[in-house]
Amino acid sequence: MTQNFLQMSKSDGEKAAYRVASNQIVKGTKAALITILNKQGNGDYTQALTDIMETEAGNAIVSLLIGYGLTYAPKISEDSRVQKLSEEFRVNGMATAGNAIIGVAMEELLPVITSAMDLLPPEEKVRVAELNEHSNVNVVDVDSKVNLSTK
């Protein structure tokens, strides 16, 4: 069933409202946690936690914790708005964590993998002559692992 433009805009606007609310709550929660950490101590451990909170991974952790907390919170977890909001927190937390992991993989691991691949011997190619339907000969490069027999 196709939606008209107004129905689609209303639906998207509602979803966007939950996303905006979730992002604002994560920002506020992180700010509050960082303030609490800074008031409680000033050691290396506190600074390390503060540093983590200010990263993409910190966003993911806070979002996931809020999402799971709301999912299982007594009384309020039955409210349909809280259910939608908790799902937004969980999905956003997972997506943010996924982006962070892919970012690290691309930044840190890709050069290592590329360097390792350069150490491997090249794949062997075999040149094969084939006769096409016009009796012309074509020369084709084929991976050496391909079975060249005809049945």
Distances (CA, A) of 42 to 27, 46, 51: 22, 6, 13
Q: Is 62 exposed, middle or buried (0-12, 13-18, 19+ CB in 10 A)?
A: buried
Residue 141 domain-assigned? no
Element (H, E) at 51: helix 44-53
Predicted local confidence at residue 28, as pLDDT:
96
Residue 46 domain-assigned? yes
Q: How many CB atoms lie within 10 A of CB 96?
A: 20
Predicted local confidence at residue 40, as pLDDT:
83
Residue 140 domain-assigned? no
Q: Which residues of the chain have pLDDT under 50?
A: 151
Residue 36 domain-assigned? yes
- The span from the CA of 86 to the CA of 22, in Å, is 8
- The span from the CA of 151 to the CA of 140, in Å, is 19
Residue 131 domain-assigned? no
Residue 128 domain-assigned? no
Residue 149 domain-assigned? no
Residue 127 domain-assigned? no
Predicted local confidence at residue 151, as pLDDT:
46
Measured between its terminal Cα atoms, the distance across the chain in Å is 50
Q: What is the pLDDT of residues 122-148, one digit of tens each?
A: 777 666 666 777 777 776 666 655 555
**Count of domains observed in the chain:** 1
Please provide residue 81's backbone torsions phi and psi, each rounded to the nearest 5 degrees.
-65, -40
Enclosing domain of residue 97: 5-119
